[in-house]
Structure 1
Amino acid sequence: MKQKWITVREHARLTTSDVQDTLDRAQISASAFDWLCQLQAGVSKQGARLVEVEDRRWLRLDGYVGIIHTPCGTDIEILPKHFNEEDSPQSSRALLCKLIASALDLPYRETGSADLQLFRFPLTEWIMRQFLLALDRLLKRGLRFDYQMVEEEQPYLRGQLDMARQMRQPPGREHRFHQRHALFLPDRPENRLLRLALDKVCQHAREADNWRLGHELRVIMHEIPPSRQVRLDFCNWRNDRLLAHYQPVRPWCELILGEHMPLAIQGRSKGISLLFPMERLFEQHVARSLKQQLPPSAHLRSQVASRYLCTHDGDDMFRLKPDLLLEHDGEKWLLDTKWKRLDGGARDNKYDLAQQDFYQMLAYGHKYLNGKGEMVLIYPKTLDFSAPLKPFVFSPELILHVWPYDLESDKLVASAVHSLPLLITPNGSLALINNGAETTKVDAAEGTA
């Protein structure tokens, strides 16, 4: 089976026709094309849309990023569509790894930043590398063993004699002893899961360093049987202080074995297939970063779902779920993230904003803020959208801001006038914006504090 590697961006088009491969379109085999159609038919029942069938020769990918391994050997790597056309896949790949580690709260550690800045390996190789490094550190500290009771028949006596079974011995076998004894073994749920993940890495690793390190660790763990009941073993994974050094490797193990839900979608082919909705990755990364830019007394909640759009016959209908709800000193602010590229100079085209997003924010404002307050739509910062837009006024009491979020510096680019309790860093010092009354020095040219 000939292996083919394809790298594209989200919303790219795939075809069986003979075209020149780019980040926005690529040629795949007919078998991979049919398999993607079947995969879409399966996940559509769960409300997800991975691809859109345009005709018999073209597919359009949706807003999922990650890696897909098809049974025919075609590997499709889908990267975020964030940088410019001339940017290399390495930048998008490094951004994707950063968002995954942040959104899933993975214990990402690397020997140096050069490997991430000059990222040259596919997503799966990066995930396998992080797992192997974490497992290597764990093995150097030592595996956790446990006592296991063993019942067996031997020609010698060891441990406790099972009198009931011994008395039922048939004639001629009186010299065989039924006994119980405890063995100090590494065969426990945590180690079995690590062995299963390690076997999977050794089978699918292509990068030389990953292949070498994986097989070295496999020799060390050769006595441990791989897990046969993955979910049951994960449920039995202990988190006490004696297994504290196991915690850094667990998220990577879950990711490789397809148990890191709800963001990862496990592929159905042989290989490590992982897909992540880019909207959710961006939302969770922004939420995690904003918590570091807020005062300790502020409270930021994700996916609040306490209000409904309307009632009908005494029942609530159409639940409203804003991405983020910020509370501080009795006041509330609504924040919603959108993974979409805006054009800050295209005022005639409404900056490429979607009208349904404004309807959504209007409903949020009336139900969660009672029609009075400030809301923020957060979009990724690009060359075309590098500064906040002027506020959008629903009413004198209800204001909507549209701000960019810088994924390189992990900072929200806020406008000069707002009431959000953001801790901002002009000239490297922290300061609190409190209800617009006391503000720090603002760089009006950049629109940032």
Structure 2
Amino acid sequence: MRHGKGRVLVSVREHAWLTTEAVAPSLDRAQVSESAFDHLCRLSETFSRGGARLAQVEGRRSLKLDGFVGVVQTPCGTVLEIVPKHHAIGGSLGEARALLCKLIKSMLDLPTRNVGQAPLQLFDAPLSEWVMSRFLAELDSVVKRGLRFDYHRVEEELPFLRGQLNLKAQLQQPPGKGHRFHVRHDVYLPDRAENRLLRLALDKVRRATQQPESWRLAQELSFRLAEVPLSNKVADDFRAWGQDRLMAHYRGVKPWCELILNQHMPMAVAGDHQGMSLLFPMEKLFERFVARWLRSSLAPGVDMRTPARSKSLAEHQGRPIFRLEPDIYVANGQQRWVLDTKWKLLDATNRAEKYGLSQSDFYQLFAYGQKYLDGKGRMALIYPRTEVFQLPLDRFEFGGGLSLEVLPFDLDQERLLGAERLGLPHRTVRLAGAATLNDESEQLERCLSHAI
């Protein structure tokens, strides 16, 4: 599929096969050019040196993608879009794109009011174009409300007096230039750390976008930010980003700017060629989405840590070794819970293959239970809900009062099925309108069951 001038869009799901041979295209198998294949192999080697795996290369013609999602643009112009595989059977590209956008919004910790399903489903373009369009919309809002300016001290030589005379430099003025004045004065300029970063991100978007609407808006904003220099110290400028109330209207654009300048996820990659590549480990996106949902569902005052890092598997020479880090740890008074998320598609109908569960995961949860719950309490493994995993599995007992629930999380409805088994302290829901006590209790019960 063509995507803009000279670019080819290839859309697949995670764990898909890519080959240089001719194949019938699908979300699980696709053909790429030899130059794109070579670029992906080099990129995979870079990931391997960093302790991750982007793909598993099979010979010289095929590779299998791993658990990363996002967009990779190769120097030859191939745009590889990798979307989540959250359906065991079927699933459309539009649904997967919408899910990925929702997960990224949650990762950026954007307000709930900004998360709308309709705009996501109508946006039929790769992830990078969606990210760039959101950045441009937020930047346009900032520019319309007004850029923040700062005073900058300037020392220069002028034919007239302005500001303060630099007496030392003036006395050193050579003969014949007595009519020139060395002065110091303040200039009110938009040269701030925030504006420099926005200008750098805008310049990257303007060169990368293939959407006509985004390109036109980027050109217009470039004229508006023409006085702002590009940031040449990205990390330092992000640390200097202002947090005072006068910078409140900049808050919406900051996460998109961080995303475009590759400051959010350690596996985001930026190519040297024109274009934008963004890759995210899918298990981290899922973990953060579930953690954010759970935090909003718990009662106020409940302690929740993501992840917990207070326990280790053993001690060696008086020091802890092999730190244990469950994804989610919840404590409410004397009650404690450990929850771990796994981005893997289970099959609740396949008892012979243990539903697809991993024995190493059970060892891991058993260790969490011994160290964080003192060997007694309730734990949960949370997996994405699919057509073949729609209800919680029967409880797993470790003995001694330690048990484990395996629960499905519905990403479409945003709810954890079987959460009532854990007995977590959830928020109280207030109901508007008059009702009898019995009706109110029934409504409350339905509302809570939907919330969890």
2:207 aligned with 1:203, yes or no? Answer: yes
* Residues in 1 aligned to 2:49 and 2:112: alpha-carbon distance in whole angstroms: 34
- Letter aligned with residue 384 of structure 2: P
Change (3 A) 1:381 1:112: closer
SS of the equivalent of 2:366 reads helix
Partner of 1:174: 178
* Residues in 2 aligned to 1:15 and 1:168: alpha-carbon distance in whole angstroms: 72
Q: Residue 246 of structure 1: which of 246, 250, 256 is its match?
A: 250
2:114 aligned with 1:114, yes or no? Answer: no
CA contact (8 A) 1:388 1:415 kept: no
Q: Deviations over 1:312-361 (max 9, x none)?
A: 34332211110000101221110000001111111222111111111111
2:354 aligned with 1:354, yes or no? Answer: no
CA contact (8 A) 2:300 2:427 kept: no
Change (3 A) 1:135 1:447: closer
Partner of 1:330: 334
Mapping 1:56-135, distance limit 5 Å:
56-83=60-87, 85-107=89-111, 113-135=117-139
- Letter aligned with residue 3 of structure 1: R
Partner of 2:220: 216
- Letter aligned with residue 218 of structure 2: G
Q: CA deviation at 1:311?
A: 2.4
Give the TM-score normalised by structure 1. Answer: 0.91
CA contact (8 A) 1:338 1:378 kept: yes
SS of the equivalent of 1:105 reads coil
Q: CA deviation at 1:264?
A: 3.3
Q: Deviations over 1:295-315 (max 9, x none)?
A: 113221111112111223433
2:276 aligned with 1:272, yes or no? Answer: yes
CA contact (8 A) 2:71 2:127 kept: yes
SS of the equivalent of 1:248 reads coil
Structural RMSD (CA): 2.5
CA contact (8 A) 2:415 2:451 kept: no
Give structure 2 stretches of 5+ with no counterpart: 434-443
* Residues in 1 aligned to 2:187 and 2:406: alpha-carbon distance in whole angstroms: 63
Partner of 2:263: 259
Change (3 A) 1:16 1:427: farther
Change (3 A) 1:108 1:260: farther
2:45 aligned with 1:45, yes or no? Answer: no
Q: Deviations over 1:259-278 (max 9, x none)?
A: 22446344454321111100
Q: Residue 229 of structure 2: which of 222, 225, 229 is its match?
A: 225
CA contact (8 A) 2:207 2:274 kept: no
SS of the equivalent of 2:228 reads coil
Mapping 1:381-400, distance limit 5 Å:
381-400=385-404
Partner of 1:374: 378
Partner of 1:364: 368
Q: CA deviation at 1:424?
A: 8.2
SS of the equivalent of 1:199 reads helix
Q: Residue 347 of structure 2: which of 343, 347, 353 is its match?
A: 343
Partner of 1:434: none
Mapping 1:300-339, distance limit 5 Å:
300-339=304-343
CA contact (8 A) 2:329 2:339 kept: yes
Change (3 A) 1:110 1:289: closer
CA contact (8 A) 2:299 2:428 kept: no
2:188 aligned with 1:184, yes or no? Answer: yes
Change (3 A) 1:152 1:447: closer
- Range that drifts further, 26-35 or 126-135: 26-35
- Range that drifts further, 280-289 or 205-214: 205-214
- Matched length: 437
* Residues in 2 aligned to 1:379 and 1:391: alpha-carbon distance in whole angstroms: 15
Q: CA deviation at 1:419?
A: 3.0
- Range that drifts further, 41-50 or 4-13: 41-50
- Letter aligned with residue 366 of structure 2: L
Q: CA deviation at 1:84?
A: 5.0
Q: CA deviation at 1:399?
A: 0.5
CA contact (8 A) 1:415 1:447 kept: no
CA contact (8 A) 1:301 1:326 kept: yes
Partner of 1:146: 150
CA contact (8 A) 1:335 1:377 kept: yes
* Residues in 2 aligned to 1:348 and 1:52: alpha-carbon distance in whole angstroms: 28
